[in-house]
Amino acid sequence: MYTIELNRYTAKADIEQTSRVLVVEDEELIREMVVVALEGEGYEVITAGDGRKAIEYIKNCEHTEQVPLDLVVLDVMLPQVNGLDICRFLRHQGNSVPILMLSAKGSETDRVLGLEVGADDYLTKPFSMRELVARCRALLRRQRLITSPQVTVLKYKDVTLNPQECWVTVRGQEVNLSPKEFRLLELFMSYTRRVWSREQLLDHVWGVDFVGDSKTVDVHIRWLREKLEIDPSHPEYLVTVRGFGYKFG
């Protein structure tokens, strides 16, 4: 039987109020540096040195009463199971935990691929610990905003969004959205027919400290269309306004 050997690091005694972060990185030096940086922010950090151990830990969390993960920092090139496949596994299971993907491959194609399989952000090696912490902080902040109490249920035609309970139905069927998809849709449905530029969407959803390009928005819009539209190539809800950006409705 395969044995999980995961290292746990706790930066504060009161871990119930501390964000729990899983760091999956096979390079020991980088892994330890990330741990130290995140511990300095007061996060509880759990590490895995290869993809199989990470998946086993995630499965164990789902079948026990362990506190769920708040963030996954995930290297792409891993032994056993690579980071892209772990990302696909999480999203296939309906797990919307924010994922920050790390990779030595920094081409546009590699970044877009990481986003397309479900990552929320992508950081190219080598990177500074300050930037990594800033991106983790931003992802956790966005996640808290998504799950913060709200009172208004948003509805437009056949789409209903409940900000308080974090669910969306389309034509009566519930759909699974990632945190970024949910936040985008909530913003669109709060201001129907308003035209948003890509830069405005990045500022509102990803935050002003996001380091990346506007193609991130296009990728997430495409994912939303696949989940909302009867015919994504002829959208009824998420409409492109050429030369300006996007609008809802």
CATH T-level topology, domain 149-248: Arc Repressor Mutant, subunit A (1.10.10)
Amino acid identity of residue 23, one-letter, is V
The full set of domain ranges for the chain reads 7-146, 149-248
> Phi, psi (5° rounding) for residue 20?
-105, 120
Q: What confidence score (pLDDT) does residue 66 get?
A: 63
Q: Is a pLDDT exceeding 50 seen at residue 104?
A: yes
Q: Is a pLDDT exceeding 60 seen at residue 162?
A: yes
Architecture field, domain 7-146: 3-Layer(aba) Sandwich (3.40)
Q: What confidence score (pLDDT) does residue 87 get?
A: 93
Question: Does the predicted model carry a pTM greater than 0.85?
Answer: no
**Among 55, 132, 79, residue whose Cα is nearest residue 101:** 132
Name the pLDDT band for 146 (thresholds 50, 70, 90): low
| pLDDT tens figures, 180-236 | 999 999 999 998 889 999 988 988 888 867 777 788 999 999 999 999 999 999 999
Residue 89 and residue 55 in contact, taking contact as beta carbons nearer than 8 Å: yes
Name the pLDDT band for 242 (thresholds 50, 70, 90): very high
State the virtual CA torsion across 54, 60, 61, 63 in degrees, nearest 10: 150
| pLDDT tens figures, 19-64 | 899 999 999 999 999 999 999 888 999 999 999 999 999 888 766 6
